Amino acid sequence: MKKRTSAGARTLPSAYYTSEDVFAREGDRIFSRSWLYAGRASRLAERGSFILCDVERESLLLVRDGGEIRAFHNACRHRGTRLCTEPAGRFSRSIQCPYHAWTYGLDGRLLGAPHMEEVPGFSREDYPLHPVSVAAWEGCLFVDLAGEPPPLREVLAPIRDRLGAWRLAELDVAHSLTYDADANWKLVFQNYSECYHCPTLHPQLNRLTPYRDTTNDLEEGGIVGGPMELTAGVESMTMSGRRAAPPLVSGEDLRRVYYYTIFPNMFLSLHPDYVLIHRLQPIGPAKTRVVCDWLFHPEAMADPEFDPSGAIEFWNVTNQQDWRVCRLSQEGIASRSYVPGPYADLESNLAAFDRHYLGILAPEPRSNL
């Protein structure tokens, strides 16, 4: 692998992190036109099971219809009422609007609309739920609002053949936590992408994986990242440094943790014994919701002695340390004194993120900075 370098790049101007106009442009050009990670397919194991996923200003309903997972806008075709408010659950056979009882099949077809037969020209066939593109990869569900997205397998091509050892599709969610970070989504994304800050901010993490023992095997584009080496005698990223479950991998992968960012809203952390996934949801220029899922193999979870608490506590502490410093960065960047500064070579992934981001967002927003 070549030497990491930020090639003289500098941080983005303040407007990219504080401007309502930039945030709106991101919603239109990035989050409304990209495959976005929405959650795990294992949460939709039974027919009729559903989850909600908020994307940009949209609420999406993902539901299992027999052997197929479908996605729809969570809005009745009558007067736009939200069909579901619970984050997850299971429909018996159909989806019914709580306002006027319009009822839809799990495939989105309008099955019933009380008294609408009295309306001349009304046809149920004209009012199905609005569909959304959905696709699965390794047990991960992705949605796209654009209508005609590129094949997901093409978007994920750089990483598609790298994860076989983890059997990611077989893993299930052992625990989930949701955080609200008072920072722009890009600050959260960039914070995950470097360990330059680890000796200062994460002493426990730095003891387990020293910040200089990191390399990239993907250095450009929408998927960036690579491995960090575990300290001798350390087995995994837990409070004790011991594994929380039997290993998923073998060989050299037992000595590494792999970190990848999948633009624009997914972080994938592959440990020897479990996988951690972060899902970002931008709320506003200075607020980001982050959903974290800890994934283990079902066989490990079925063991009466299974205890993932060491892994959960480790990353909960680390996450909260990160969200605090991201808030401090957000506050500092909003200052009139802020001017872009130079990236360190240890922040080469951030420079790569900026190039990819600006290439999609262009033209550059106007700023008086």
Residue 27 sits in the same domain as residue 42: no
Contact predicate 205/271, CB 8 Å: no
- Residue ranges making up the domain that contains 106: 36-149
Residue 50 sits in the same domain as residue 28: no
Residue 275 sits in the same domain as residue 348: yes
Tell me how far CA of residue 219 lies from CA of 42, 231, 267, 269, 350, in angstroms. Answer: 31, 24, 15, 16, 10
What is the pLDDT averaged over residues 156-174? 94
Residue 103 sits in the same domain as residue 175: no
Q: What's the pLDDT score for residue 183?
A: 98
Name the packing angle between helices 185-192 and 348-361 (round to 10°).
150
Tokens of 312: 């959960």
Query: Does residue 297 have a pLDDT over 60?
Result: yes
CATH code for the domain of 220: 3.90.380.10
Query: Does residue 363 have a pLDDT over 90?
Result: no
Instruction: Report if pTM > 0.85.
Output: yes
Residue 132 sits in the same domain as residue 194: no
Q: What's the pLDDT score for residue 198?
A: 94
Across the chain, mean pLDDT equals 95
Q: What's the pLDDT score for residue 369?
A: 38
Query: Does residue 305 have a pLDDT over 50?
Result: yes
Q: What is the pLDDT of residues 118-163, one digit of tens each?
A: 999 999 999 999 999 999 999 999 999 988 889 999 999 999 888 9
Domain boundary among 119, 149, 179: 149
Contact predicate 145/132, CB 8 Å: yes
- State how far the Cα of 126 lies from the Cα of 119, in Å rounded to an integer: 13
- State how far the Cα of 269 lies from the Cα of 122, in Å rounded to an integer: 51
Q: What's the pLDDT score for residue 368?
A: 42
The band of 7, judged by pLDDT with boundaries at 50, 70 and 90, is confident
Q: What is the pLDDT of residues 245-257, one digit of tens each?
A: 999 999 999 999 9
Q: What's the pLDDT score for residue 214?
A: 82
Q: What angle do CA 273, 275, 278 make, to 5 degrees?
A: 155
Q: What's the pLDDT score for residue 8?
A: 87
Query: Does residue 1 have a pLDDT over 50?
Result: no
Residue 177 sits in the same domain as residue 312: yes
Contact predicate 145/56, CB 8 Å: yes
- State how far the Cα of 62 lies from the Cα of 54, in Å rounded to an integer: 11
Residue 219 sits in the same domain as residue 345: yes
Residue 167 sits in the same domain as residue 120: no
Residue 45 sits in the same domain as residue 168: no
Q: Flag whether 154 is in a domain.
A: no
Query: Does residue 365 have a pLDDT over 50?
Result: no
Q: Flag whether 139 is in a domain.
A: yes
Q: What's the pLDDT score for residue 193?
A: 95
Q: Flag whether 317 is in a domain.
A: yes
Query: Does residue 200 have a pLDDT over 50?
Result: yes
Query: Does residue 234 have a pLDDT over 60?
Result: yes
Q: What's the pLDDT score for residue 213?
A: 81
Domain boundary among 149, 181, 216: 149
Q: What's the pLDDT score for residue 215?
A: 86
Q: What's the pLDDT score for residue 160?
A: 87
Query: Does residue 366 have a pLDDT over 70?
Result: no
Task: Report the greatest alpha carbon distance in the chain.
Answer: 76
Residue 139 sits in the same domain as residue 173: no
Q: What's the pLDDT score for residue 161?
A: 87
What is the pLDDT averaged over residues 226-243? 97
Q: Flag whether 155 is in a domain.
A: no
Share of the chain above pLDDT 90, in %: 90
Q: Flag whether 193 is in a domain.
A: yes
The band of 3, judged by pLDDT with boundaries at 50, 70 and 90, is low
Residue 286 sits in the same domain as residue 367: yes
Q: What is the pLDDT of residues 26-75, one digit of tens each?
A: 999 999 999 999 999 999 999 999 999 998 889 999 999 988 999 999 99
- State how far the Cα of 267 lies from the Cα of 249, in Å rounded to an integer: 20
CATH code for the domain of 93: 2.102.10.10
| Count of domains for the chain | 2
Residue 50 sits in the same domain as residue 29: no
What is the pLDDT averaged over residues 154-179? 95
Q: Flag whether 157 is in a domain.
A: no
Q: What is the pLDDT of residues 100-119, one digit of tens each?
A: 999 999 999 999 999 999 99
Q: What's the pLDDT score for residue 315?
A: 98
Q: Flag whether 351 is in a domain.
A: yes
Domain boundary among 123, 149, 175: 149
